[in-house]
Structure 1
């Protein structure tokens, strides 16, 4: 039986954030995407059914659990529950914005951005950015009336991502750039100033922006470990928390420029996420023409020298001296030199492809220890955690040998025991 053992030690504990994206079981997830189908009488859809995928690899429809999009204990209601109250603590804030706000909001002019979303966060912990396309959503801050009745007719999308609090400064900058209209909010004193500025409905009182410039920013999710992967006994014993973080997913927020037509000023400023995807072969151990792919993997993930693993300063020197500072990789993982052989063997007959995956990812037959290092935007080491987990790597043939070329977050996927990862003659 596959089990997960997490050893949290060394220099810090991971954050226990309560404001996260949540699935239909009210379990925290790093991110999810929902496509709500339109109402179609000819095939019998009510317009409240949806398709759902998340960071844990779950792929389902609302009919799998009989909870439509407006269910008071469904995915959206579970995620929005922190705002279903009139009394909010000083360490919690939220902003709902939309170019088509519900009746509780104030109407807006054409100078605001064509964008819809909601963000909420606990200061110094975690929060949620929920982007969507539904007018008048959330209709009310009420779990029984949050979804507008008008929202059933057309197809809609929702993208929810869990972020650490520090990322909300950049998200606030994004909302200022797209001139988002805040129809409901609660931002206490002491939060990022950009969030307070977004709540200002008079654009003249906001910081000056260049609306003709396309702006983008790399964002990294909190990397929440998927529900069900952590031993319930460890959680109940208080050894680790259900919000323990793993390797985050990279996203990119894009603010487009405004376009002026012959009649009026129309803002086509939008916000969106694009996954940062690593190109992969369709299955393990196919040829990779990049002969340096394995060497780059070693440089990024195998510790190359002796230093005090218990010292933040020593880790800082190592990452700086080795040229590993990269804002696109604020969370990095490292193996001890003695584990290099075990990692290589994942691709050489000891590992198995992941179940239900059509790419070159392979999983180790047992857990391995590795260091998980978190860096801030200035490449300063914030935290180092020694973990033990199953290891997932991408396996390609480099110079006639199948080797690891990419480290992937383990989201609880199991192995396909009917196949092994190794080079075959056909490769």
Structure 2
């Protein structure tokens, strides 16, 4: 009887551990966990950090051609960071960013970037320059913590200095052995 109960507890523990591991892959609890899509950094670059991004907010026709070229009409609000800031953007996912929640990191210092508003009929409505702390989704790709998502900073959030740097999150994201997790 005791052996049956022990077997049941062990099986139940394995099932719960497996389910939690799967859940963490879809909704990471911290930055710098293994990316489910190894191309997500390249997609981030295509959508937010390009050499060919226009720089004049008044030239809507130029922005129209740009959005057409990269074919991102399905995204009604789009943000583009200056390419010259590429190393600073990457650093948000390490020492230049603080953990923000889930796999998100918020930059310690504000960035200046362009936000483009799109109208339904493939038309650029407005382009504006914004200056605020950026919030980036950060995942581990080829053993580096890299940006994979640009999260709008709707409430003009600032980093909480009590939160760890995102680089610390990667150092702490090691695998927890089954025995330690369930004290078996």
Please state which band the TM-score falls in when normalised by the shorter chain. 0.7 to 0.9
Compared CA separation, residues 301 and 400, structure 1 to 2 (3 A) = same
Is 1:283 the counterpart of 2:26? The answer is no
The alignment status of 1:413 with 2:157, answered yes or no, reads yes
CA offsets, 1:124-150, max 9 Å, x none?
xxxxxxxxxxxxxxxxxxxxxxxxxxx
1:313 aligns with one of 61, 74, 88: 61
Question: RMSD value over aligned CA atoms?
Answer: 1.8
1:398 aligns with 2:145: no
2:138, 2:145 within 8 Å by CA — same for their partners in 1? yes
Cα–Cα, structure 1 residues 280 and 343, in superposed 2: closer, same or farther, change >3 Å?
farther
Q: Which runs of 5+ in 2 are unaligned?
A: 1-25, 176-184
Larger CA Rg, structure 1 vs 2: 1
Whether 2:56 is the aligned partner of 1:336: answer: no
Normalized against structure 2, the TM-score is what? 0.72
More helix by share: 2
Displacement of 1:307 after TM fit?
4.2
Q: Secondary structure at the match of 1:321?
A: helix
| 8 A Cα contact 1:284 1:361, kept in partner | yes
Q: Does 1:325 align with 2:73?
A: yes
TM-aligned CA distance change 1:330 to 1:351, over 3 Å = same
Distance 1:280 1:338, change over 3 A: farther
Partner of 2:48: 301
Distance of 1:348 and 1:289 partners within structure 2: 19
Aligned to 2:135, what secondary structure does the other structure show? strand
Greater relative contact order (Cα < 8 A, sep 6+): 2
Correspondence for 1:351: 97
Give 1:317 deviation, angstroms. Answer: 0.4
Count of residue pairs the alignment pairs up = 144
Residues 118-172 of structure 1 show CA distances to partners (whole Å, capped at 9, x for unaligned) of xxxxxxxxxxxxxxxxxxxxxxxxxxxxxxxxxxxxxxxxxxxxxxxxxxxxxxx
Contact 1:330/1:379 (<8 A) preserved: no
Unaligned 5+ segments in structure 1 are 1-278
**What is the DSSP-based 3-state SS (H/G/I as helix, E as strand, rest coil) of the residue aligned with 1:335?**
strand
Equivalent runs, 1:201-216 vs 2, <5 Å: none
Provide the residue aligned with 1:248 in structure 2: none
- 2:50 partner SS: coil
Tell me: CA distance 1:308–1:366, structure 2 relative to 1, closer, same or farther (3 Å). Answer: closer
